[in-house]
Amino acid sequence: MAHCIISEAEALLDKEFPVLDKGFIRLVDYMGGDTRVVQAARVSYGAGTKSLREDAGLIDYLLRNQHTSPFEQVVLTFHVKLPIFVARQWIRHRTARVNEVSGRYSVMKDDFYTPELEDIATQSADNKQGRGAALDVEIAAETQASLKNAQKDMYAAYAELIGKGVARELARVNLPLSLYTEWYWQIDLHNLFHFLELRLDTHAQKEIRLYAQTLFDITKSVAPLCCAAFERHTLGGVRFSREEFAEIQSRLENGGDGVLAGKELERFEEKLRAGRRT
């Protein structure tokens, strides 16, 4: 099959989509799309797919049944500008190829992330890694000012060391996690969907969720049928453990009497209410 040209994706190439205060995502390149997934599946499955005439139906079938290898035929390359603390969460997904700007070779830009006032909140009481209630506006403003002042001071110290001829690899060591970095990030569609499943979840930090949503919006232009199936079966779906499935069966058979109790029952019912996937 010849190279896939997708007009919607072509229109987005090299266009910056802003994220946060100074960040962005650009689609640099792509290989394949919905048609590539369909072709790869029909090669693999042979005559077994002839009953699935419509591409959307075949793609939906593949994703619903976790036949993921055809999705690996689609590859996307992004240029991303993001705060270092977001990058350190992002890089934990080790199924991509990454080239990041180096502070050893380049003088880092005076670009720092500062959260908006409404995003400055208390530590959550029940989530050790998340935010809780919004802070009083006055305290939030003081926090924001403190962050900006510290960023200004640390960059001034960095620039002073650079000016004295100190090696860039040493001058950078005190720069904070709020500093923006940039990288080229290349990933196949199957592993991108796994990234999005985790980073679009409400339990992910807000800043990386915003990047994930922009990634997903761009990816829809490359493989809209695949993205629709992903929304239906992954983002819009819920997974149940063996015990939770037994709870469902018991309720169906006994008219409301289940088998779970205590915290397990609470988590199960929360999952039903919120559509949690974990």
pLDDT for the residue 249: 84
Exactly one of 36, 53, 199, 232 is catalytic; name it: 199
Specify the amino acid at residue 2: A
Q: Are 204 and 198 in contact (CB under 8 A)?
A: yes
Clarify whether 64 is annotated catalytic: no
pLDDT for the residue 2: 65
Q: Indicate the Cα dihedral angle 56, 62, 68, 73, nearest 10°.
A: -40
Query: Over its length of 278 residues, how does the chain's per-residue pLDDT go in tens digits?
Result: 567 899 999 999 999 999 999 999 999 999 999 999 998 988 865 544 454 457 899 999 999 999 999 999 999 999 999 999 999 999 999 999 999 999 999 999 999 999 999 999 999 887 777 888 888 999 999 999 999 999 999 999 999 999 999 999 999 999 999 999 999 999 999 999 999 999 999 889 999 999 999 999 999 999 999 999 999 999 888 888 888 888 888 888 877 667 888 888 888 877 777 654 44
- 108-134 in b/e burial notation, b at 16+ Cβ within 10 A? beebbbbbeeeebbeeeeeeeeebeee
* Phi, psi values for residue 134, rounded to 5°: -65, 145
What are 245's two structure tokens? 């499935």
3 state SS of 54: coil
